[in-house]
Structures are given as structure tokens and as C-alpha cells.
């Protein structure tokens, strides 16, 4: 049967369709899951099953055409290369873990069944965002992703913190989107294109660019730094991490950060790391500065936190700093983008796992888990305590865990590119980070439990999510050969 008889309106080749299929599946899955969620009694369970099945199908579909040649669609605004397809696959994996984590937690927190379809909608937005090189397309993708996440953050209806977080995120996120759009308009005004590739070649034509271009680029950069949560655009982050229901925080910390950072890396690669325009040196220096400031600020402020989710929120600022270091190194050396991808992937997995364990100990409508509440938990629940320890050690970059491999790859690629100073700042601040991660481990295993100590909430989904994440963290930490080989392959 000819493909055009099935989809008569879209003249697509088989390969193009194959590449787009995961995106279609996820979008349809979101709709079906929305429908399934309307069931009065079993709405949550049905929505979970439907969304999980569609996601698994999408992941399988995404795996087949992984190494096919690059596909460009919609006049060049969507590009599917092995790199973007791998990133998409990773996003879908985060979404799947996020959905599993949500199962069970939704009842505890009184979340509506729509949460599952919202996760899928935002996943669709993320896939678009990673795959596009068109600024307007990127804006639309950003909005698809963000709007769903705003709703998810505010969905914990019985908690005023959730409403506060949702509002904060929405207002500030709206501002960032507006900046992005205005910046795009200014860049278009200056250079006459929305296409990153075309913009880059326009930049290379002339060493002197109009002032409008730099204003526009500055706005885009600020909007993206807001989304990735870099200092000093991080103000929303701790409150949103705390106020949102923990499964949403986990999904945000993993997938949103992953997507936003990859999109920022793409913008930086085409618009900032252009060596023919001298004035762009200031932007490059700005990234250097933000990297150093995020590492220092995030790590030092995290020390002072006594609440787990808030501490992880500040630590995520520090991780953004490390990633920006990798990004800065991309400017001067080859091969960093793979190490950024690897680091993001490992970090996201550990992050999902850590929040899954937190979810297992949070009471209904609790804002955050206080560190005193986990005193002695590792003794009472040795396995879960060990899991949380693994995730925290991974974030701290201690060997045995994937976080170490990720950090090793990122920092070594930066040293290879010649950026030693920033790496030294990074390793010294990561000693600081070891302190606050270990503090949690100390409370888990070395303090006596008290009456305040949190109770274990029997949640199947979160338990499974924690185990999957831990298995992945250890697997990639001990036997990283396969995944590194894979990442090298897609880079070629």
C-alpha cells in the first residue's frame, strides 16, 4: 500500500514517516490518555496504562530509525539526526520513568488523572524543541512543553505551596517566553531569518553586526538561562521544586532541564560560538562567568538547606554550572557535545531516582522532607537508604556511579579543550557539594531515628522507578563501555 493513501494530506516518504512516528504516537497517546482519564472510578489507572503503552511504543519506534541518515522536514525547521533522535529517546525514557513514578503518587497527592496526558504533551514539546533549528518552532515547542509543566506544578490542589509555585513559575516563565520571542523578532530584524543555520552563515558574512542583533541575542540567552536554571536567573527554581508534587519535580528536574539545556547548547553553537564576530567574545565570556557563578552559588547555598527538595534544587543550579562549563568548552574544542549529552542523561537518571525515594517518604500534602525527618531511615529501610545514597553519590560524582563517569567525561573534555581554570573551580566546588550530599547520607545512616522520622509510604510506582534508576546508575557507573561507544557513534 502506498503511504500516501494512508496519509493523503501529508506527502511523506517512508523514512520521514518513520522518524516522525514517535512524535505522532506520543501526541495520540496524550489524547487517548486524556480520554481514558475521564473514567469515574478507574480513571487514574487507565490513564496510566494508556500513556505507558503509548510511550513504550514510541520508544520502540524511536529505536529503529536511530542511525538512518539525517531527515529534514518542514522546510528545514525539523531535523532528525542520530544525535537528536538519541536525545529524543532519552527524553522518552525520562517521561516513562516519570509516569511510573507518578503512578500511586497521584492518589496520595490528589492529582487529577490528566497528569499523565500532560506529561505526554510536554514530552511532545520537548521532542520538537530538541529536534528543531528554527527559532519560531523552538518557541512553539517551548510553549507546548512549558504550559503543560505549569499546570503540572500547580496541580496539587490541596497545597497552597503548589499554587504559589505554579503562579511563580507561570509568571516568570511567561516573562522568559516573552523575552525569547522578542529576542527572536529582533534577531530576525537584524539578520532576516529564523533558521539557526542561515543565521550562522549570515553572521559569518560580516564581522560587524548591528546593535539590535546583540540585544535580541541577549534576550534569547537570558530566556534560555532562565529555563535551565542558571544563576542569577534561578529565583523561581527552589520554590517550584518544593511546591510541586515530587513526581512533577522529578520529571522537571530531569526532562525539562535536559531539553532546555540541549536547546541552549544549539543556540549557543550557532549564534554565540561564531569566531568571526569579535563582539560575540563578550557572550562567550558571559557563559564562562555564569558557569562559574552557578557552580559557586548553587553549591554554597545548598549547604545551608535543611530540606531535601530545596537542597536538590540548589544543587541543580550547580549542575547547570558544570554543564555550562562543558558548553563553554564546546566553543574551543571538539567533542564536548557528546559529553554534555552523557552528563545530562546520567544526571537526569540519578535525579529521577532521588526524587522517587523522597516521594516514598513524603506524607500527603507535605511541602518538603526535612533533613531531621530522614534521621535513621537508612537503618530502618536499608535498601531504600542505599538507593538514595547511590543517587546522591552519583550526583556528587563519586566512583561506582554513573555520575562519576559523566563528570569525568565532561571535565576531561573541558581540559582537552584547554579550559583548565574553570575545571579547577568546578572540582573545588564539587568538594563543597560532597559535603551536603554526604550530610543526607549521615542523617540516613548515622543518626538515631526519632518520632519525627518519616514513615514509608507504600507506593509501587515510585519504588519501581527508584530501582530502575539505581540499576541504571550502577550499570553505567561500572560498565560504561557500551553507552560511551554508542554516544561516540552518534557523534560521527
Partner 1 sequence: METTSCLLTWIIFSPMLFALVAFLTPSAFEGKLRTITLIQTLFSAVLAIVLYFNFDGSLAGPQMAHLVAWLPEWGINYLVSIDGLSLPLVMLTAFISPVAILGTWPSKDGELKKEKFFVMMLMFLQTGMYGTFLASDLFLFYFFWEVVLIPMFFLIGVWGGKERIYATVKFFLYTMVGSLLMLVAIFYMLKTSAAQFQEPNAAFVSLHSLHFAFDGTSLMSAMASPQTWLFLAFALAFVIKVPMVPFHTWLPDAHVQAPTVGSVFLAAVLLKLGTYGLMRIAIPFFPEAAFYFKDFFIIMGVIGIIYGAFCALGQTDFKKLVAYSSVSHMGFIMVGLFAFNKVAFAGSLYQMINHGISAGGLFLIVGFLYERLHTRNLNEFGGLSKTVPVMAIAFMIMTLSSVALPGTNGFVGEFPILLGAFQVQPFYVLFAGTGVILGAVYALKAYQLVMLGPQTRTDLGHLHDLNAKEIVAMVILAIFIFGIGFFPKTFFGKSDATLEQYSDSIIGRVVPNGH
Please identify, using beta-carbon distances, which residue of 14 and 488 lies nearer to partner 1.
488
Cβ 451 vs Cβ 354: under 8 Å: no
Please identify, using beta-carbon distances, which residue of 278 and 382 lies nearer to partner 1.
382
Please identify, using beta-carbon distances, which residue of 10 and 482 lies nearer to partner 1.
482
Cβ 114 vs Cβ 37: under 8 Å: yes
Nearest to 228 by CA among 204, 270, 259: 259
Residue 170, all three cell numbers: 507561570
Cα 258 versus chain centre, distance:
3
Cβ 240 vs Cβ 168: under 8 Å: yes
Q: Which residues contact 259 (CB under 8 A, 6 or more apart)?
A: 91, 126, 129, 130, 145
Checking phi first, is residue 455 left (phi over 0); if not, alpha (psi -120 to 50) or beta?
beta
Please identify, using beta-carbon distances, which residue of 346 and 411 lies nearer to partner 1.
411
Residue 239, all three cell numbers: 520554590
- Which 8-state DSSP code applies to residue 271? I
Cα 77 versus chain centre, distance:
22
Q: Which residues bind partner 1 (CB under 8 A)?
A: 379, 382, 393, 398-400, 404-405, 408-409, 411-412, 415-416, 420, 423-424, 427-428, 430-431, 434-435, 438-439, 441-442, 445-446, 479-481, 484-485, 488
DSSP string computed for 38-63 = T-TTTHHHHHHHHHHHHHHHHHHHHH
As measured in angstroms, the least distance from the Cβ of 423 to partner 1 is 6
As measured in angstroms, the least distance from the Cβ of 359 to partner 1 is 25
As measured in angstroms, the least distance from the Cβ of 488 to partner 1 is 5
As measured in angstroms, the least distance from the Cβ of 480 to partner 1 is 6
As measured in angstroms, the least distance from the Cβ of 405 to partner 1 is 8
As measured in angstroms, the least distance from the Cβ of 339 to partner 1 is 10
Please identify, using beta-carbon distances, which residue of 175 and 438 lies nearer to partner 1.
438
Distance CA 258, CA 251 (A): 10
As measured in angstroms, the least distance from the Cβ of 368 to partner 1 is 23
Please identify, using beta-carbon distances, which residue of 104 and 480 lies nearer to partner 1.
480
Please identify, using beta-carbon distances, which residue of 15 and 428 lies nearer to partner 1.
428
As measured in angstroms, the least distance from the Cβ of 294 to partner 1 is 18
Please identify, using beta-carbon distances, which residue of 252 and 375 lies nearer to partner 1.
375
For residue 318, the tally of other CB atoms under 10 A from its CB is 26
Distance CA 469, CA 387 (A): 9
Distance CA 469, CA 350 (A): 6
Amino acid at each position: 500500500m502506498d503511504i500516501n493513501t494512508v496519509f493523503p494530506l501529508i506527502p511523506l516518504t517512508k523514512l520521514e514517516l518513520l522518524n516522525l512516528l514517535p512524535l505522532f504516537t506520543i501526541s495520540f497517546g496524550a489524547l487517548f490518555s486524556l480520554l481514558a482519564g475521564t473514567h469515574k472510578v478507574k480513571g487514574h489507572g487507565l490513564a496510566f496504562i494508556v500513556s505507558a503503552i503509548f510511550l513504550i511504543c514510541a520508544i520502540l519506534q524511536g529505536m529503529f530509525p536511530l542511525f538512518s541518515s539525517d531527515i529534514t522536514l518542514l522546510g528545514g525547521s525539523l531535523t532528525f539526526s542520530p544525535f537528536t533522535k538519541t536525545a529524543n529517546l532519552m527524553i522518552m525514557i525520562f517521561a516513562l520513568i516519570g509516569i511510573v513514578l507518578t503512578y500511586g503518587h497521584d492518589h496520595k497527592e490528589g492529582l487529577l488523572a490528566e497528569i499523565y496526558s500532560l506529561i505526554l504533551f510536554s514530552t511532545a514539546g520537548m521532542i520538537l524543541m530538541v529536534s528543531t533549528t528554527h527559532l519560531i518552532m523552538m518557541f512553539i515547542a517551548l510553549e507546548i512543553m512549558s504550559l503543560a509543566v505549569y499546570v503540572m506544578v500547580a496541580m496539587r490542589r490541596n497545597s497552597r505551596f503548589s499554587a504559589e509555585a505554579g503562579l511563580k513559575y507561570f509568571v516568570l516563565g511567561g516573562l522568559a517566553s516573552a523575552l525569547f520571542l522578542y529576542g527572536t523578532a529582533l534577531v530576525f530584524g537584524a539578520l532576516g531569518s529564523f533558521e539557526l543555520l542561515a543565521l550562522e552563515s549570515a553572521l559569518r558574512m560580516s564581522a560587524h553586526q548591528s546593535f539590535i542583533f546583540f540585544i535580541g541575542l541577549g534576550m534569547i540567552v537570558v530566556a534560555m538561562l532562565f529555563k535551565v536554571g542558571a544563576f542569577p536567573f534561578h529565583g523561581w527554581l527552589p520554590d517550584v521544586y518544593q511546591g510541586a508534587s515530587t513526581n512533577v519535580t522529578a520529571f522537571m528536574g530531569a526532562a525539562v532541564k535536559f531539553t532546555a539545556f540541549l536547546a541552549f547548547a544549539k543556540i549557543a553553537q550557532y549564534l554565540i560560538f561564531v569566531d568571526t564576530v569579535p563582539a560575540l567574545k563578550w557572550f562567550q565570556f558571559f557563559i564562562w562567568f555564569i558557569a562559574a557563578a552557578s557552580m559557586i552559588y548553587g553549591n554554597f547555598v545548598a549547604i545551608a538547606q535543611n530540606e531535601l527538595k530545596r537542597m536538590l534544587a540548589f544543587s541543580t543550579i550547580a549542575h547547570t554550572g558544570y554543564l555550562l562549563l562543558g558548553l563553554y568548552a564546546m566553543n574551543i574544542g571538539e567533542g564536548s557535545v557528546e559529553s554534555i549529552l552523557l552528563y545530562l542523561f546520567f544526571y537526569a537518571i540519578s535525579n529521577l531516582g532521588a526524587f522517587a525515594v523522597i516521594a516514598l517518604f513524603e506524607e500527603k500534602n507535605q511541602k518538603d522532607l526535612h533533613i531531621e525527618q530522614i534521621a535513621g531511615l537508612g537503618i530502618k529501610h536499608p535498601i531504600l537508604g542505599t538507593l538514595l545514597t547511590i543517587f546522591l553519590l552519583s550526583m556528587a560524582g563519586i566512583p561506582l556511579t554513573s555520575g562519576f563517569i559523566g563528570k569525568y567525561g565532561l571535565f576531561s573534555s573541558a581540559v582537552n579543550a584547554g579550559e583548565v581554570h574553570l575545571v579547577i573551580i568546578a572540582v573545588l566546588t564539587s568538594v563543597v557539594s560532597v559535603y551536603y550530599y554526604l550530610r543526607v547520607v549521615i542523617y540516613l545512616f548515622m543518626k538515631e531515628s526519632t518520632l519525627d522520622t518519616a514513615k514509608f509510604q507504600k507506593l509501587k510506582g515510585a519504588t519501581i522507578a527508584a530501582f530502575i534508576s539505581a540499576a541504571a546508575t550502577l550499570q553505567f557507573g561500572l560498565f560504561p563501555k557500551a553507552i560511551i561507544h554508542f554516544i561516540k557513534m552518534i557523534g560521527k
